[in-house]
Chains A and B, each alone.
Chain A
Amino acid sequence: MRHLLLGNEAIAYGALSAGVAVAAGYPGTPSSEIIETLLEYRDRFVQWASNEKTAVEIAYGAALAGARALAAMKHVGLNVAADPLHSAAYTGVVGGFLIVTADDPNMWSSQNEQDTRWYGLQSYIPVLEPSDPQEAFKMAKEGLMLSEALEHPVILRSVTRVSHVRAPVVVEPPAPPKFGKFARNVERYVLVPQNARRRKAEVLRRWDSFADLSSRFLSIEGDGEVVVVASGVGYLYAVEALERLRVKAAVVKVGMPVPLPKKLADVGAGEVVVVEEGDPVVEMQLRAMGVKTRGKIDGFFPKIGELTLRSVVEGISKALGLGVRLPDPPTPPLQPPPRPPYLCPGCPHMGTFYAFKIASAGQKVIWSGDIGCYTLGINTGQQDLATHMGSSLGLGMGIAVADREKLVVATVGDSTFYHAALPQLIDLKTKKVPLVLVVMDNEYTAMTGGQPSPSRSVPAERLAEAVGVKHYVIDPADLKRSVEIAKAAVADAKSGEPVVVVSRRPCTLEALRHARRSGFKPPKFYVVADKCRSCGICYNVLKCYAIAKLPDGKAWIDPSLCSGCSMCAQVCPYDAIKPTEPEKVGKWLELWSQA
C-alpha cells in the first residue's frame, strides 16, 4: 500500500518494520516527526527526552542491552550528544543502534548548517544517506539491522529535502519490538584508558571492513563519457540536471557516503563530477583516494545553502565546460516589503517581553536570548544574542561578569530551560551572578509543533527553589501585575542578586486548538476608530501581528488573526480597543490557562 508520507514518517515506519523497541529524541526542525510518529506505538518505549544527549544515552543503553533502538534529533542536536556518540563506537552495541539526524542546509530554522557526515568520519560510525522518503524508509530499516549485525552504531543522515518531503511510500507493517538483556562485559563497556586503547584498535579494524560494506549501497545508472558521483538528495538533482542539459552520463549513486567504498578509486579515468548536499564530504574522500574531482572544493557548486536544480544545472555545465547559463528570474512589478516571522498574535511571550521592556525602561539592558519562538523578541529589540541551546543563561552569565555596568535579562523557553539551562542554574547560584533569568514557560515546545515539555511535571520555580535562587511566577496575560513583578526582579538583580521569573501561560496555538475542539469560539478585539489617537503602542511596542497600522496611523485589528488575548486592550491608553463579546473574555483566559 502506498501512502503519501513525509520523509520523517517514512523513517519511523522503517524503524518499526525493523522491530525498534526503544526510541528517544529531542524535537528540532526538520527532525521532529520521527519521534512523533513512533509515539503512536504504545508497545514500545518511545519518549521525548529533555535533550539530545539523554536521548542518545537512552537508545545507546538499550542497544547495549540487546534491544533495537533509535535516537532522533536535528544536526545541531548531535553536538549535544557528541560525547556518548564517540564512546558508542568504542564499545559497539549488542542490539541495533540507529542515530538519525536531520540536517538543515540553508538554515531554514537553524543557527548553522553543519554536515552530520563529518561526525561519521570523526567518530568512526558509518553514515547512510537516503535521497527521498521511499529510500528513507528502506535505509532506516536496513540501518537498524546493519547496526545489529555489525554490533556497531549507524548514523542515518537526512536533510530538510528528505525529512520534509512528502511522497508516495510503500511501507511494510511494524515488526514486534525487540527488547533485550544486558550482559556484563567490563573490558568492553568500561572505557578506562587501558580498555579504551584496546577498543580504539578494534574500532579501526572495524572501520576498514566498513569501507567494503558500503559498496552494498552503491549503484550505477546509465553510461557515457561523463561520470557523476552523487550522494543523498544530490542524486535527484543530478539526474534531473543531466536530463535538462541532455548530457549522457554514468551516475554513481552513493547511499553510504561515510566511509566510501575503496572500489570508488577506479571510478572514471578523467575527472568525476561530485554532487552532494552540504560539505564536500564525498568529494574529499574521493580526492584522498586519488580520484580527480570537480565539485564544491573548487567552487563548481556553492558551498553555502541547499542544492537547487538551478545550481546543479549550472554547476555541471561549468564542470563540463558547456557554457549553459539559465536566465535570471523575473522581478515583481511591485517589491513587497519583507515579512519577517513574528510572535503569533496573543503569544504569551508577547506579554512577557512587554512587561520587561516597561520594567527595565531607562536601564542599559543586554537581552541574552536563546533558541525558540521567543527568539522573535528580536522584533521588539529584546534579543541581543541567540547562538545555541542554552546561550541565554550561559552567555548571559559571562556577559554579566564581564560588563558590570549593564543589566542582563536572559530569556529562555521552558523546553530549552530543561534542555540546557539546569546545570547553568546551579552555576548561577554558586557563582552568585546578578542577572534576571526569565523562563518563558508556555508548557509546550511550541516552535517545533507543540511537543509537551517537562514544565507541568517539573515546574521551573520548584527547581529554582531547590537550588536556592530567588524566584517569582507571573501570568503574562495580566500585564499590570507582570510589570510590577518584573520591576521587582530588575531591582533584585540591580542589588546584586540572581533572580528567576517564571512567566507561565500555555501556547496560544495549542489553546486555540483546544477551544476549536471543544466548540468554544474565543472573543475578538476591535479598534473603536473614534477613540484611537494613533499612538501606536499596540502595533509598535506590543507588536501584535494581528494589528495593522492604517495610513492615518490608527490601528486596525485583523479579525482573522486576533486570538482574543486582551493584551492590546490592556496597553491602550485611550480605552479604544474593545472585545466583540465582553462576557467571553474572562472565560477564554481561564480556558486558555488550562490548555
Chain B
Amino acid sequence: MVTSVVIVGVGGQGVMTLARWLGRAAMAAGYDVKIAEVHGLSQRGGSVEVHVRLGDRVYGPVVSEGDADYVVAMEALEALRAFRYIGGNTVLVVNKRVIQIPGRYLDPEQVYKALQTYKNLRLVPAFDIAMKIGDPIYENSVLLGYLAKLLGVDERVDWLDERNRRAFDEGRRLASGDLQPSASSMAS
C-alpha cells in the first residue's frame, strides 16, 4: 500500500520544507518514502507543487492526476489548481488563506465557497495560528502537524525547534477533532 500526497502552495511559503519534514516523519515511522520536488523558477510567487509518497515500497516518485489520497494546499487558489489530483476519496486539506495574484483580486469568501462544494474538504486556519505564534513562516508546521496526525506519522519530529513544535502541536490538535486552537499555546 502506498499513500500519495500532493502538497501545493506559492513560492516562498515553505512548501518544500513541509514536504521534506513530512518525509522525515514518515521515514521515522518506518516507511519507505519518495518526495518529488521541483525547484528552480519560482523562489517567490509562482505555483509550487511537491509530491510525497509513502508505503512499504515506493516505486514512482510522482503522483498521477486523480490519484492522490491527500491534497494539501498552503493557499486556497492553489487548492483549486490542484483539483486534477483529486480522485474518489481524496482528502483535501486547505490553509484558509488567499495569496492574491498581481493585478487581479479574488474575493477570498468566494474561493472558500467554491472549495466547499467538495465533500472531503478540511479548511485549516494555519495562517491565523502562525500569525498568533508570531510569524507566517510557521504555517507550514501547522499543516505538517495536521497532516502527520492524519497519516499516523506524528510521533517523531525531534528536529522541530520550539515555535515550530508549537505550530505542529496546534495542527495535530486540529486534526484530532479539537477544532478550537488551545488558549495556552496561543499566548506568545
Contact residues of A with B, CB < 8 Å?
2, 4, 6, 29-30, 108-109, 132, 160-161, 164-168, 233, 236-237, 239-240, 306, 308-310, 313, 326-345, 373, 446-449, 509, 539-540, 543-545, 547-551, 556, 558, 560-561
Decide if B27 touches A4 in the complex (CB within 8 Å).
Answer: yes
Q: From residue B29, how far is it (CB to closest CB) to chain A in Å?
A: 12
Q: From residue B58, how far is it (CB to closest CB) to chain A in Å?
A: 8
Contacts of A4 in B (CB 8 A): 20, 23-24, 27, 33, 35
Contacts of A310 in B (CB 8 A): 64-65, 67
Decide if A341 touches B39 in the complex (CB within 8 Å).
Answer: no
Enumerate the 7 nearest inter-chain pairs by beta-carbon distance, A residue then B residue, closest first. Answer: A109-B40, A341-B46, A29-B40, A334-B114, A344-B44, A548-B100, A332-B83
CA distance A165 to B35 in the complex (A): 5
Decide if B81 touches A336 in the complex (CB within 8 Å).
Answer: yes
CA distance A326 to B85 in the complex (A): 13
CA distance A168 to B28 in the complex (A): 11
Counting chain A CB atoms within 10 Å of each CB, the highest count among B23, B61, B66, B114 belongs to B61
Other than the given A237-B59, A309-B62, A338-B101, 18 more pairs (CB < 8 A) read A4-B24, A166-B35, A166-B37, A167-B58, A239-B59, A310-B65, A331-B83, A333-B80, A333-B83, A336-B81, A340-B46, A343-B45, A344-B45, A373-B43, A540-B103, A544-B102, A548-B100, A550-B105
B167 lies within 8 A of chain A by Cβ: no
Q: From residue B110, how far is it (CB to closest CB) to chain A in Å?
A: 7
Decide if A329 touches B84 in the complex (CB within 8 Å).
Answer: yes
B41 lies within 8 A of chain A by Cβ: yes
CA distance A4 to B66 in the complex (A): 27
Contacts of B105 in A (CB 8 A): 548-551
Decide if A560 touches B33 in the complex (CB within 8 Å).
Answer: no
Contacts of A306 in B (CB 8 A): 62
Minimal Cβ-Cβ distance residue in B for A379: B102
Q: Which of B47, B77, B107, B136 contacts A560 (CB 8 A)?
A: B136
For chain B, which range describes its interface: under 10, 10 to 19, 20 to 34, or 35 or more residues? 35 or more
Q: Which of B46, B61, B66 contacts A342 (CB 8 A)?
A: B46
Decide if B83 touches A166 in the complex (CB within 8 Å).
Answer: no
Decide if B60 touches A332 in the complex (CB within 8 Å).
Answer: no
Decide if B61 touches A29 in the complex (CB within 8 Å).
Answer: no
Q: Which of A239, A309, A560 contacts B67 (CB 8 A)?
A: A309
CA distance A164 to B40 in the complex (A): 11
Q: From residue B114, how far is it (CB to closest CB) to chain A in Å?
A: 4
Contact residues of B with A, CB < 8 Å?
10-12, 19-20, 23-24, 27, 32-47, 58-67, 77-78, 80-81, 83-86, 99-107, 110-111, 114-115, 117-118, 136
Contacts of A166 in B (CB 8 A): 19-20, 23, 33-35, 37
Decide if A341 touches B41 in the complex (CB within 8 Å).
Answer: yes
CA distance A182 to B100 in the complex (A): 60
Can you give 15 A-B contacts (C-beta < 8 A)? A30-B40, A108-B40, A165-B35, A168-B32, A237-B59, A328-B66, A329-B86, A332-B114, A334-B80, A334-B110, A336-B78, A337-B77, A339-B46, A339-B101, A341-B45
Given contact pairs A342-B102, A548-B102, A167 touches B60 in the complex (Cβ within 8 A): no
Q: From residue B135, how far is it (CB to closest CB) to chain A in Å?
A: 9
Q: From residue A307, how far is it (CB to closest CB) to chain B in Å?
A: 9
Q: Which of B19, B39, B86 contacts A449 (CB 8 A)?
A: B39
Contacts of B39 in A (CB 8 A): 29-30, 109, 164, 449
CA distance A342 to B19 in the complex (A): 23
Q: Which of A233, A447, A545 contacts B45 (CB 8 A)?
A: A545
Decide if B102 touches A543 in the complex (CB within 8 Å).
Answer: yes
Decide if A334 touches B84 in the complex (CB within 8 Å).
Answer: no
Decide if A447 touches B44 in the complex (CB within 8 Å).
Answer: no
CA distance A233 to B61 in the complex (A): 9
Decide if B37 touches A165 in the complex (CB within 8 Å).
Answer: yes
Decide if B83 touches A165 in the complex (CB within 8 Å).
Answer: no
CA distance A30 to B61 in the complex (A): 16
Given contact pairs A309-B62, A336-B77, A340-B46, A448 touches B102 in the complex (Cβ within 8 A): no
Decide if A165 touches B110 in the complex (CB within 8 Å).
Answer: no
Decide if B84 touches A2 in the complex (CB within 8 Å).
Answer: no
Given contact pairs A108-B41, A236-B59, A448-B40, A330 touches B66 in the complex (Cβ within 8 A): yes
Decide if B102 touches A547 in the complex (CB within 8 Å).
Answer: yes
Counting chain B CB atoms within 10 Å of each CB, the highest count among A109, A168, A345, A558 belongs to A168
Q: From residue A518, how far is it (CB to closest CB) to chain B in Å?
A: 16
Given contact pairs A166-B20, A309-B64, A341 touches B42 in the complex (Cβ within 8 A): yes
Decide if A329 touches B60 in the complex (CB within 8 Å).
Answer: no
CA distance A561 to B137 in the complex (A): 11
Q: From residue B172, how far is it (CB to closest CB) to chain A in Å?
A: 21
Contacts of A543 in B (CB 8 A): 102
